[in-house]
Structure 1
C-alpha cells in the first residue's frame, strides 16, 4: 500500500471514530474534540462525547455545560399541563377552583375574580359594558331590562351591581288611622328589584324609612288633634266665676241733724 492510500485510510478511520464516539449530540468540534452539545445533551468533559440528559433533566438550547437543568415537578395545588422532556421543562397548571397568577404559573389563587371582573383564560378581566359581577359569581351577568317588564330604571347599573327597576311611583294616601296609612304605602309600592349587594339594601332602606316617616307624621297629626280636643274640653268644664249682686250699700254719708228753723216764709221774731 502506497503512503497516500495509507494516509487517506487513516483519515477515514479517524472520521468514523469521531462520528461514532463524539458526534452523537455534538454540535461543534475543535479538532477531534466536541466543544458544544445539542439541546437535550450535556458535555461532561471538555473533550469527550455528549451525553443525553437524564429523565429528570433537560437542556432547552445548545450548551457546553457539564450538567442538565432539573425538571419542574407539579405537585400539591399544581397539575401537569405538559410533561418534562430532554429539551423542555414541565408546564404546570392549577387544580380546579384555582388559577395561575402569572404566565409561568409559579403561584395559584382562587378562580373567583373580584367584584366587577370575570375569569378569561387564566386572567381576571373587567366586565364588558352592560354586565356586572358582585364577586359572588364566576362570570359577568347582563343587566336587567326594565322596559321588558313594563318598568323604568331608577338606578343605573355598573360593573359591580345591576340596574334597579321600578313599576310605578309610590302613591301616598292620607288616612285617619296609622295602620291604614302604612297599608296604603305598602300596597302601592311594587318595585322590581333585581340588584344584589348594596343596591338591594339601599332600596329597602329607602322604602322602610319612608314608611316609618309617614307613620310618624300621621301619628303626630292624630295625637295633636286629640290633644287639642282635650284642652278645649278642659276649658269648657272649668266653672265660670259667679259675680253676686249685693244690695245697695246704705248711704255712708253722715247727715248732721237739721237745725230747727222755721219755714222760709215764716217771719223772724226777736226775743225780748
Structure 2
C-alpha cells in the first residue's frame, strides 16, 4: 500500500514538473468589445475560463493547475490528468491542453479506445471473453490470429480431395489430395495434372488430320490410275496378239481346189518302180476308179 502511494506521488511530481516546463500563453485568445468591457470568445489552449467579460482580457482566462488539463476553449474548470497504473504505461505525458496517453505492457491489450484499462492479450488458438480474459477455442473452431474471435473449421473439401482433421486450435482443417487420385495422376499425368497440354495435343491432332487425309486420298487416286493404265495396256497387247495369230492361219479353200492340190502333191511326191508302172491293167483300172471317185 505504501509502495503504491509512493509511486503515485512520484508520478504526480514528475507530471507537475513537466506541466510547469510547458509554456502556456495566458488569457483570452479571441474576444469582442462590448458595453460591459471585453467579452472572451475562446481562451488559449490549456486555459480555463474565469470570467466571460471584464476590463482585462488576460484576467478572463487562467492556465490549468499542475496535474490537470482542458481541451475546451470556454470550460471553467480543468480535468485531472489520467494516471497510467497497473499494466498500463505512459506513452505521452499530460499537458495543460491534452491528457496523458497510456498503453499496455507486453502480454496485455487496451480494453477500449482511450486505453482506460488493459486486458489479457489472447494468443493464437484462443479468443477474448467478456470477463477480460482468454479462453481456448471451442470444439469445431480455430483462431490463427492474435486476440481475435475463433471461427468455424473447414468441414468439406473438393471431390478429388479428402478432409484432414487438425487438433491444433490455431490451425484449420486441411484438404489433401486422395491417394487414388495421386496414383491415377502418376499413370496419366497429362489428364489429371495439366489441361493446357491436352488442349495443345488435341489442336496438333486437328492440324495434322486434314493433311494426312489429303495425302492418303492422293495416293489412292494414283494407285487407281496406275491399275487402269495396266488394264488398258493388257487389253491392247491381247488384241495385237489375236490379230497376228489370225494372219498366220491358212486361207480356207473350196473343197474341189483342195482335192486338186492334194492330187498334184501326191503325183509330185510319188516315186514308183518301173515294174509297178507296167503293172496289170486291173491295178490301173482300180487306181483310175479310185481317182474318179475322189474327183466325184
TM-score where L is the length of structure 1: 0.36
The structure whose Rg is larger is 2
TM-score where L is the length of structure 2: 0.33
Larger fraction in helix: 2
